[in-house]
């Protein structure tokens, strides 16, 4: 996935380490409440739904649909040239559980809300970024 | 129920010079706005016993923070009993609502509230350095967006706009009508930055930033400061002009502070604050004479129109189709000064300033012709918002 060169990489924290490194094992790891089973992203130290402090990363399917997207045309990062598609991907695990991410290997004109996508990981240094591509029909 | 028992009023407002890259510091601009607001109220700096600002001395991009409350207090030798600043508040006017509570509860009598920015000058000076500096890692609130190229609010808000357009059929042309209306109003505002007429063709053909947002959907970095004096009602007899009552206010935030997890992507925190504001007043949306609604990005104004109840949810496109709804001589004039899209990013406080100036009938050529006594002010976007209902009776 050469598209990722020039991205600004994330500062990995204890809370986010599972998310940023699960891809080295081919896994999309998302925090989940162990009490009420709510998935939670971005990761925080409690469950906003039931307020349990017992949250831990679990493996999500990596499948979802596009909830919203934008075609970025502005060169925010000189080494990461536009156009590229930024999307909110809603994971199939739970309504409203979304990742802000990039779509790769897609026909920009064909992107639409509701389109099925799946995770692919892009390894950069010590992190594996979860990007998404269209699921073949 | 009323907001702080109607004990808090606005007694004066002032703005500094406003422009692009005018080369003055944020403190200099803040002091100028403060002088004008204190004089406008008919007060002296000896009367000022509270200071409030957004956001205060926080780490931020260059020019975003013009001055801290201490800077202004020090410069004028103010003897104050109450102070606050903060970025963790309800939109950019959140600390002003705290000031209203402070005067209502007796902790201060006249609070100088201000917002100063010098982003235009700072960005011009920093651009060369930024391009050559090594990129650091994204942390804090940007950890989960920057790595995916979602670098700007333009990207984050564009996604909300796209989803709304998908759900309800809102078009770029309909949003463009609002943008053009602001530019038309700005032509009558001598302090606006962009005053040349704009056509729909100009709007649609502008360079695309992040679809559906083109260049004219994004506000303009500016240099300028705005100051507002919030006073206890009992302390305003004999002052320069009749006080404007802070009739209602909304500061409620009900969902996570994120740009991508809101339950309903076709609403924003503006809906939370607007709903809570209407609980603080006997007035309804139908009573409002005009509105000044945040437009850091054009789409945010459409959200405020719906959140405040001027259009039904999902129907702002139809509202925008009928220009008589929102033009300067229409039923509900919106952003008579040109908003941030044409008058410059004074970061929220510009909307408050315009609402007061219109209520006092001091807006010059752009003065709304009909009688106006009730104004709605909505500030912020995404997970951050605050709103007020301002009432002037002679
Ligand atoms: Zn839970």
B297–chain A nearest CA distance, Å: 14
- Whether the upstream peptide bond of residue B212 has omega within 30° of 0, thus cis, is yes
In the structure, what pLDDT confidence band is assigned to residue B242 with cuts at 50, 70 and 90?
A: very high
Residue A1 has a pLDDT of 43
- For A7, A88, B20, the CA distances from A76, given in Å and listed in that order, are 10, 19, 21
Residue B287 backbone dihedrals phi, psi, to 5 degrees? -85, -10
Tokens 């001589």 — which residue?
B329
On average, the pLDDT of chain B sits at: 96
Backbone angles phi, psi at B22, to 5 degrees: -85, -5
Contact B148 A76 (CB under 8 A): no
- Look at the block and give the residue holding tokens 């945010």: B300
pLDDT of residue A4: 57
Spacing of C-alpha B299 from chain mean position: 14
Check B138 against A8: CB less than 8 A apart.
Answer: yes
Asked whether the predicted pLDDT for residue A48 surpasses 60, the reply is yes
Residues of B in contact with A98 (CB under 8 A): 260-261
ipTM score of the complex?
A: 0.96
Contacting residues of A for B151, CB less than 8 Å apart? 8, 76-77
Residue B127: which pLDDT band, with cuts at 50, 70 and 90? Answer: low
- CA dist., res. B173 & res. B170, Å (int): 8
Q: Token pair 């729909």 is at which residue?
A: B200
Structure tokens given for B112: 């100088």
How far does A136 lie from chain B, in Å, by closest CA? 23
Candidates B295, B254, B265, B294; CA nearest to A87 is B265
Residue A116 to residue A133: CA distance in whole angstroms = 9
B-proximal residues of A, 72-131, CB under 8 Å: 72-74, 76-78, 80, 84, 86-88, 96, 98-102, 112-113, 127, 129, 131
pLDDT exceeds cutoff 70 at B16 = yes
A29 interfacial to chain B (CB closer than 8 Å): no
Tell me the pLDDT tens digit for each residue of B201-215: 999 999 999 999 999
What band does A28 get if pLDDT is binned at 50, 70 and 90? very high
Q: What is the per-residue pLDDT for B146? A: 95
Q: State the best of B139, B149, B150, B266 to mutate against chain A, taking most chain A CBs within 10 Å.
A: B149
- Record: contact A16-B155, CB cut-off 8 A: no
**Lookup: tokens for A112:** 């639409």
CA distance B70 to B375: 31
Return the minimum-mean-pLDDT range out of A9-13, A79-83, B368-372.
A79-83
Residue B134's pLDDT band, with cuts at 50, 70 and 90, is low
Indicate the residue of A13, A73, A100 with minimum beta-carbon distance to B150: A100
Average of per-residue pLDDT across B95-118: 97
What angle, 0 to 180 degrees and rounded to 10, lies between the N-to-C axes of helices B269-278 and B298-307?
30
Q: Which residues contact A87 (CB under 8 A, 6 or more apart)?
A: A66, A67, A68, A69, A70, A100, A101, A102, A103, A111, A117, A132, B159
> What average pLDDT score do residues B191-207 get?
98
Do B178 and B186 form a contact (C-beta atoms < 8 A)?
no
Q: For residue B225, give the nearest of B27, B61, B74 by alpha carbon.
A: B27
Of A78 and A35, the one with more pLDDT: A35
Residues B377, B374: Cα–Cα separation, whole Å = 10
CA distances from B256 to A33, A60, B55, B183 (A): 16, 21, 20, 34
More confident residue, B160 or A2: B160
Q: Would an 8 Å CB–CB cutoff place A71 in contact with chain B?
A: yes
Question: Is pLDDT of B129 > 80?
Answer: no
pLDDT at B61 (0 to 100): 85
Q: If you measure from the C-alpha of residue A127 to the centroid of ligand 1, how many angstroms do you get, rounded to a whole number?
A: 28
Rounded Cα–Cα distance for residues B217 and A73 (Å): 14
| CB–CB contact B260 A100 (8 Å) | yes
- Tell me the pLDDT band of B128, cut-offs 50, 70 and 90: very low
- Mean pLDDT is lowest, of B18-27, B118-127, B231-240, B285-294, for B118-127
Pick the closest to residue B291 from B271, B308, B279, B270 (CA basis): B308
Please list every residue in chain B whose beta carbon sits closer than 8 Å to the beta carbon of residue A133.
none
- Residue B125 pLDDT: 86
Residue B195, pLDDT score = 98
Structure tokens at A82: 């536009």
Quick check: B334 and B354 in contact, CB under 8 A?
A: no
pLDDT of B394 higher than 90? no
Q: What is the pLDDT of residue B188?
A: 98
CA distance B172 to chain A (A): 14
Under an 8 A CB cutoff, do B148 and A129 touch?
Answer: yes
Q: For B148-173, how does the pLDDT look when each residue is reduced to its tens digit (9 = 90+)?
A: 999 999 999 999 999 999 999 999 99
Which of B258, B260, B383 has the most A C-beta neighbours within 10 Å, making it the best mutation to test the interface with A?
A: B260
Give the helix/strand (H/E) hosting A56.
strand A55-60
Q: Rounded CA gap, B98 and B56, in Å? A: 14
Closest CA to B242 of B20, B109, B394: B394
Question: pLDDT confidence of A80, banded at 50, 70, 90?
Answer: confident
Q: Which residues of B touch A131 (CB under 8 A)?
A: 148
B146, A74: Cβ pair inside 8 Å?
no
Instruction: Quote the pLDDT of residue B136.
Output: 85
Q: What confidence category does residue B311 fall into, taking pLDDT thresholds of 50, 70 and 90? A: very high
pLDDT of B84 higher than 80? yes
Confidence category of residue A78, pLDDT binned at 50, 70, 90:
confident
User: How far is Cα B109 from Cα B159, in angstroms, rounded to an integer?
Assistant: 44
């Amino acid at each position: 996935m050469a598209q990722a060169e020039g991205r600004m990489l994330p500062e990995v924290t204890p809370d986010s380490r599972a998310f940023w490194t699960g891809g080295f094992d081919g896994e999309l790891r998302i925090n989940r409440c162990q009490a009420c089973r709510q998935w939670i992203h971005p990761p925080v130290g409690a469950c906003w739904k039931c307020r349990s402090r017992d949250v831990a990363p679990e493996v999500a399917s990596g499948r979802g649909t596009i909830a919203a997207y934008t075609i970025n045309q502005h060169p925010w990062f000189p080494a990461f040239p536009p156009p590229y598609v930024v999307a909110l991907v809603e994971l199939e695990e739970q309504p409203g559980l979304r990742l802000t991410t990039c779509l790769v290997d897609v026909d920009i004109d064909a992107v639409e809300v509701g389109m099925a996508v799946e995770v692919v990981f892009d390894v950069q240094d010590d992190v594996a970024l979860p990007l998404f591509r269209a699921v073949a029909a | 129920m009323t907001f702080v028992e109607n004990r808090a009023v606005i007694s004066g407002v002032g703005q500094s010079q406003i422009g692009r890259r005018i080369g003055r510091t944020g403190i200099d601009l803040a002091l100028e706005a403060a002088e004008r607001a204190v004089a406008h109220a008919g007060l002296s700096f000896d009367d000022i016993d509270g200071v409030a600002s957004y956001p205060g001395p926080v780490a931020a991009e260059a020019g975003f923070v013009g001055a801290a409350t201490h800077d202004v207090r020090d410069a004028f030798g103010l003897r104050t009993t109450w102070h606050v600043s903060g970025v963790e508040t309800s939109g950019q006017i959140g600390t002003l609502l705290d000031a209203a509570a402070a005067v209502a509860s007796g902790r201060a009598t006249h609070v100088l509230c201000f917002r100063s920015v010098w982003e235009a000058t700072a960005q011009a000076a920093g651009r060369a350095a930024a391009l050559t500096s090594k990129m650091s890692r994204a942390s804090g609130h940007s950890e989960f967006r920057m790595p995916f190229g979602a670098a700007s609010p333009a990207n984050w808000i564009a996604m909300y706009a796209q989803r709304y357009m998908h759900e309800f059929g809102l078009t770029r042309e309909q949003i463009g009508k609002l943008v053009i209306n602001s530019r038309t109003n700005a032509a009558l505002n001598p302090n606006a930055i962009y005053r040349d007429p704009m056509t729909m063709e100009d709007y649609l053909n502008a360079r695309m930033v992040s679809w559906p947002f083109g260049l004219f959907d994004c506000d303009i970095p500016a240099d300028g400061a705005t100051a507002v004096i919030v006073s206890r009602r009992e302390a305003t007899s004999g002052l320069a002009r009749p006080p404007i009552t802070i009739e209602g206010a909304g500061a409620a935030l009900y969902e996570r502070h994120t740009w991508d997890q809101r339950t309903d992507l076709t609403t924003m925190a503006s809906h939370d604050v607007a709903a809570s504001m209407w609980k603080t007043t006997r007035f309804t949306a139908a009573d409002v004479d005009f509105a000044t609604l945040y437009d850091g990005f054009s789409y945010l104004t459409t959200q405020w129109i719906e959140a405040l109840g001027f259009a039904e949810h999902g129907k702002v496109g139809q509202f925008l189709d009928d220009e008589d709804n929102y033009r300067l001589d229409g039923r509900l004039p919106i952003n008579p000064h040109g908003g941030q899209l044409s008058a410059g990013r004074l970061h929220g406080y510009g909307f408050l300033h315009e609402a007061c100036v219109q209520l006092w009938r001091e807006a010059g050529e752009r003065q709304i012709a009909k009688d106006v006594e009730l104004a709605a002010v909505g500030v912020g976007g995404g997970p951050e918002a605050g709103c007020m209902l301002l009432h002037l009776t002679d």
